[in-house]
Structure 1
Amino acid sequence: MELLLKKMITRKPLAYLSGILMLAVVLYSCASNQAAPPPPPPPQLPVMAITSAPATTYLEFPASLEGKVNVDVRPQVSGYLEKIFVDEGAYVKAGQPLFKINPQVYAEQLNSANSNVLAAQANMDRAQVEMDRLAPLVANNVVSDVQLKTAKANYEAAKAAVAQAKAAVGSARINVGYTLVNAPVSGYIGRIPYKIGALVGNNDAQPLTVLSDVREIYAYFSMSEPDFIAFKNNFPGKTIEEKLKQAPPVELILADNTSFTEKGKIETIEGQFNKTTGAISFRATFPNAAGILRTGNTGKVRLTQEVPAAITIPQEATFEIQDKVFVYTVADSNKVASKPITIAGKTANYYFVSDGLKAGEKIVISGTGTLKDGAVITPQPVSADSVLKSKPL
């Protein structure tokens, strides 16, 4: 090689360029004769054989929570708010005073009504006297009986006026009582939008406050038509009411994914499906003696169901494409193929498969992020029991 370079240097430039080209050809030939690097070995991935066994699955449905009783506290009479006896968030008992409206106007109306009663009573007494005076005169044919009939009519009118005046007293007394607003039920006070001195009335858009009885909490949730059919087919009974009695207690999962301490019971199902959403509403009741839950809370109602032969797979073995769940199955040639599955239920770590897999098939349980259909792997067998022990249901 060195001798070739020396000869090219001593020659003319054209010959020098030709030598360079010859050298490039020689170098390329040497490089092409080198052996290509071997392909990387197939990835080693854990593979689990599918088995079926009895399991407890659950379904979750978003729910909104309301107290058993939610009452808008509104004034029955208009006036200036004179006193507020409670604070927002306080627990009150039925009959406890909440607000006081200035009663002066209504107290004067009561005084006026009482005076009208006295005047009407005096008119009735006068009519009674006149009737008593004419009665013997008519009996002795001194005066015509027409005068007595007129006196009796005047007496009846005066008597009716007394009754009307007494009714006005009762109405005025009720209005005076309405100036003190009491709690209609026991519960927690909501927001109080009005302050002392505000003019309030029974036509106001906002109530004085909202009172919630939360000793029991209603959780409202909805099921699609297929879920509803599956729900009612799980329990014996001829009617929906009989089936609800056989339904097991349900759990309430709070917004922080913790489980509420008390179990609930599904009590009612709405009478018809919503035409817009195609869903039907349920109501579950949860005891809430400690008042932990309040109206407006959200959560999820969890329904459990026993499956006699369930195919259980880890959630990490799945992936989603356009709202469909897939797994990678492994063939005898160690090639993988994606396969859609149908989820019947789930736990925190596992899916229960109702369609798409059968006992004996093998699936890749982790490391599926880089796989593609037809890829070859080196299976690392893992037993279903060891998987369940590492991540309990």
Structure 2
Amino acid sequence: LKSAKAVFESAAANVEQAKAAVSTANINLGYTVIKAPVSGFVGRLPKKQGSLVSNTDVAPLTLLSDAHEVHIYFSLSEEDFIGFNTNYAGKSVSDRVNHLPAVSLVLPDNTVYAQQGKIDMVDGQFDKTTGSISLRATFPNAKGLLRSGNTGRIRLGLLHADALVIPQSATVELQDKVFVFTVADSNKVKKMPIVISGKSGSNYLIKEGIKAGDRIVLSGLDRIAEGEVINPEKKDDKVAKLVTQ
């Protein structure tokens, strides 16, 4: 009886040892399956099934891009950044960022991305080489249209107090200067140089050269000359919504 009991206990110990071996094997088997902690897009797979891998390999098995949200980095000039600090409410840069309106992304084919983004980061210093400062906007990307490495343009609404706006089509560019044809009370036209401070869609924001109330020629610029007397037709006044690009 004692001999049989010893055999039983030995067999039971072997069973427990086998269970432990099975458990260890299952754990090791689990290491052969790599599960991503997030959803996203997988890059190239340089290692194929059956390839030998090691924890000393320098190259990763692949790269996973978590693209449900995409960060877009862009820059503002010193002048635009001063306007940003001046025109938006807030005691600090972080406060002003929280009050910023949503921004739009213009894709390489000149279409506008369907969803708007939010600026959530401003760099701490200017780039000495470019004279600009970097900002970051985050865009939702549920459909996966945006990928890492994409390019585009950010459309950011900037406030311009008492801005004077004229159509870009009403201007003439000559070398590095921009001109408009003003119309005097005698209906005589004069070519006037202007200084542009920015763009709003297809319009120019005027800094110098003309003032509110001045009459300018809107069309037919290729058919008139300096000093010519014309018969102008007044266009309806319009209020333009400013969106600086």
Alignment TM-score, normalising by the size of structure 2 = 0.75
Give the 3 Å change call, closer, same or farther, for CA 201–277 of structure 1 in structure 2: farther
- Consecutive unaligned residues in structure 1, runs of 5 or more: 1-169
Alpha-carbon deviation of 1:204?
A: 5.3
Output aligned runs, 1:302-317, within 5 Å.
Answer: 302-317=155-170
Match of 1:341 in 2: 195
Alpha-carbon deviation of 1:229?
A: 0.8
SS at match of 1:369: helix
Give the 3 Å change call, closer, same or farther, for CA 392–379 of structure 1 in structure 2: farther
Supply the distance in 2 between the matched residues of 1:392 and 1:269 (Cα, whole angstroms).
26
Match of 2:108 in 1: 255
Choose between structure 1 and 2: higher helix proportion.
1
Choose between structure 1 and 2: higher strand proportion.
1
- Consecutive unaligned residues in structure 2, runs of 5 or more: 1-23
Instruction: Identify the match of residue 122 of structure 2 among 269, 273, 297.
Output: 269
Alpha-carbon deviation of 1:371?
A: 4.7
- Mapped contact 1:336–1:377 kept (Cα < 8 A): no
SS at match of 1:229: helix
Q: Which amino acid aligns with 1:226?
A: E
* Percent identity over paired residues: 47
The superposition leaves residues 120-170 of structure 1 with CA deviations (integer Å, 9 ceiling, x where unpaired) of: xxxxxxxxxxxxxxxxxxxxxxxxxxxxxxxxxxxxxxxxxxxxxxxxxx9
Alpha-carbon deviation of 1:269?
A: 0.5
Supply the distance in 2 between the matched residues of 1:352 and 1:246 (Cα, whole angstroms).
24
Give the 3 Å change call, closer, same or farther, for CA 249–392 of structure 1 in structure 2: closer
SS at match of 2:233: strand
Output aligned runs, 1:159-238, within 5 Å.
Answer: 178-198=31-51, 200-201=53-54, 206-238=59-91
The Cα RMSD (Å) is: 3.1
Alpha-carbon deviation of 1:271?
A: 1.1
Match of 1:64 in 2: none
Alpha-carbon deviation of 1:197?
A: 5.0
- Mapped contact 2:189–2:230 kept (Cα < 8 A): no
- Mapped contact 1:214–1:288 kept (Cα < 8 A): yes
The superposition leaves residues 262-305 of structure 1 with CA deviations (integer Å, 9 ceiling, x where unpaired) of: 22111111111112111111001112222222212221111113
Alpha-carbon deviation of 1:214?
A: 1.0
Instruction: Identify the match of residue 230 of structure 2 among 364, 378, 385.
Output: 378
* 2:217 matches 1:351: no
Instruction: Identify the match of residue 280 of structure 1 among 128, 133, 137.
Output: 133
SS at match of 1:382: coil
Give the 3 Å change call, closer, same or farther, for CA 190–327 of structure 1 in structure 2: same
Alignment TM-score, normalising by the size of structure 1 = 0.49
Alpha-carbon deviation of 1:307?
A: 4.1
Supply the distance in 1 between the matched residues of 2:241 and 2:87 (Cα, whole angstroms).
25
Supply the distance in 2 between the matched residues of 1:382 and 1:205 (Cα, whole angstroms).
71
SS at match of 1:182: coil
- Mapped contact 1:269–1:282 kept (Cα < 8 A): yes
Matched residues, number = 219
SS at match of 1:181: coil
Supply the distance in 2 between the matched residues of 1:359 and 1:222 (Cα, whole angstroms).
31
Give the 3 Å change call, closer, same or farther, for CA 305–384 of structure 1 in structure 2: farther
- Mapped contact 2:166–2:205 kept (Cα < 8 A): yes
Supply the distance in 1 between the matched residues of 2:203 and 2:144 (Cα, whole angstroms).
34
Give the 3 Å change call, closer, same or farther, for CA 221–323 of structure 1 in structure 2: farther
Output aligned runs, 1:239-254, within 5 Å.
Answer: 239-254=92-107
Q: Which amino acid aligns with 1:236?
A: A
SS at match of 1:226: helix
Match of 1:12 in 2: none
Instruction: Identify the match of residue 301 of structure 1 among 129, 141, 154.
Output: 154
Match of 2:11 in 1: none
- Mapped contact 1:251–1:301 kept (Cα < 8 A): yes
Q: Which amino acid aligns with 2:233?
A: P
- Mapped contact 1:330–1:337 kept (Cα < 8 A): no
Give the 3 Å change call, closer, same or farther, for CA 278–392 of structure 1 in structure 2: closer
The superposition leaves residues 329-366 of structure 1 with CA deviations (integer Å, 9 ceiling, x where unpaired) of: 2234513223223233311x322323321122121112
Q: Which amino acid aligns with 2:231?
A: P
Larger RCO, structure (CA 8 Å, separation 6 or more): 1
SS at match of 2:94: helix
Q: Which amino acid aligns with 1:338?
A: M
Give the 3 Å change call, closer, same or farther, for CA 190–370 of structure 1 in structure 2: farther
